[in-house]
Structure 1
Amino acid sequence: MADPIDIRSFEGIATVLGSRSFVPVNYEERHRAVGDHLGFDVSEIIAAIHHISLCLRDEAHLRSRKRIATLISQSNADATAFIAGEVPEMLAKLLSVGTHDVMGEFVNPCVNRLISTNIGTTLSLDHTTLISRLFSQTTGISKRRRMNAELAELRLHIQRELPFLTETEVGDRIALCILGTDALRGTLGRSMQAVFAGAPYTAEYPKTGVPYIDRQAAHPCPVDGVTYDADTTLRARLDALESASDPQDRNRFFGYGAHVCLGKKIALHLWAQIQDSILDRQAAVAVTRFTLRRDDVFCVPEEFEIEVTHG
């Protein structure tokens, strides 16, 4: 399979992500081919893909998207209450005088709590979870096996806690966990690091945890003056939007058109609350350690340590 072709212009990114001439790559076939060839179970991965709108096309995409949108809408009051009631308290602890692990003390538990409001039961995925690596092309055999096992455990957890749900309703909740976990962890972590390092406070996230999204041409399609053959995979580099002079362009981190992120509204509400809480504390914060984990899909901090000297 040929390497994806990077698209970095804002217009090209909009075309690749917003045009119906470009469709999601076939994640199911990727995982199935590896599992069949090497003889290991990928059934939970495949089952999850059938509920992830970013992996689906045509009517299957529309049905999944509608169900996920309804689930998010129904949980909006709980998510909003968490953001208003608990996030300021979590940040007050994080910004108390001393040395703090931002990912361990705030980002990871915050993401777990927020997604828990969406799925209706307590989520406790640790920082090593592989469920969002489903989008990876390079994950090795042992990690794919572990990913499949983690998804099976997540399914059992939801079924035990919410035994009245249908199989479809369980699958949709698994999809929300996959879509939200690493994307939000990365976006929050990198954006908070940028703010602590002096980036201006804006309504938009300054950084993204999702550096790119791949799409496949359904037929010969022009992008930035070049016509690409059908089945060509183009890689829309969302991280290029971080340098946008117009801050509204950074809202495009959430995608375009039919595949725009359904969690955009609540994610922006969370960011607004985080910034307000940081401003209220007026803490003196220095980033003393910051590294990204090795990952071919997401940009997620592995180490993120701060020193608070006044708060």
Structure 2
Amino acid sequence: MLLRDLTTLRLGGPAGSYAEATSSDELVSAVTEADAAGTPVLLVAGGSNLVVADEGFPGLVVRIATTGVTLEQHDTHVDVTVAAGEPWDDFVARAVASGWVGVEALSGIPGAVGSTPIQNVGAYGQEVAETITAVRVWDRVLKGERTFRGEECAFGYRHSRFKSDPARHVVLDVTFRLERGEQGAPVKYAELARTLGVEPGERAPLRDVREAVLGLRAGKGMVLDPADHDTWSAGSFFTNPILTPAQADALPADAPRFPQPDGSIKSSAAWLIDHAGFAKGHGNDRVSLSTKHTLALTNRGGATTADLLALAREVRDGVEAAYGVRLVNEPVCVGCAL
């Protein structure tokens, strides 16, 4: 099995061995047997957040293919428990169709449900941290199941306790609390509000929010399309940098600045990349920035992981040289590093 066949970047060498888990029991069994044998384990679900070395992964690759959705219905909300291997956008589509509010702005994001709490996936003003009430995991250190309440997950910007110790916890399922209604959550993201024709803080119908987000993402090459090399990516390759006030003050006057509750300042990685001289399409015929969005690094066909990492380093180092801000990669590097 080649990892390039399991990742949205379509990059990565061979797996030492491969297993597919279609139930939580199979997943736990595969991981515990490998741990007992001292075999390294790589868990793959949607493969949308992985950069895998050309040499591949020498241990056991386990594809998480678990499925299942269970409901607890209440008058004003539903508690929905979703298996880790369920495709994320399938779940969002079901939520919108069912009148469940709280994940509609996360439409079109590739990957599986179990990956979303690890990164605290977010887009267009929503984060999964806002609706997750529980994450059930297999703890590879304690060798048993644990359930973390939402407030115990230490969610932050593209961060969680699971990302802090990525080898320890195997996500089995995630529980979301979603309000009932036909109107989406208040729209927080200015670009989405403009597209919907509402003011920030106002609401729009769930279906309209989903369609608007899908349109915005497609326009940026962020909806998977096998025929479009702009979507052969890991999504946003760099996180938006969190800066001290002094760092933010050193940026050009027109650089985006978004004050955070803790006094830090969030800026825009895409703006920094573009203004450091890396335009859409920068690169070569193997790898380049997306022609639709500077924040995505794309495989144009025939690329290697080494090609992609060389481009990532060029962009990261160029931004640091121009603005003194060192961008951090969002996808997880396996057997390689920037």
Bigger helix fraction: 1
- Compare relative contact order (CA 8 Å, sep 6+) and give the higher one, 1 or 2: 1
Superposition TM-score, scaled by structure 1 size: 0.29
Superposition TM-score, scaled by structure 2 size: 0.28
Bigger strand fraction: 2
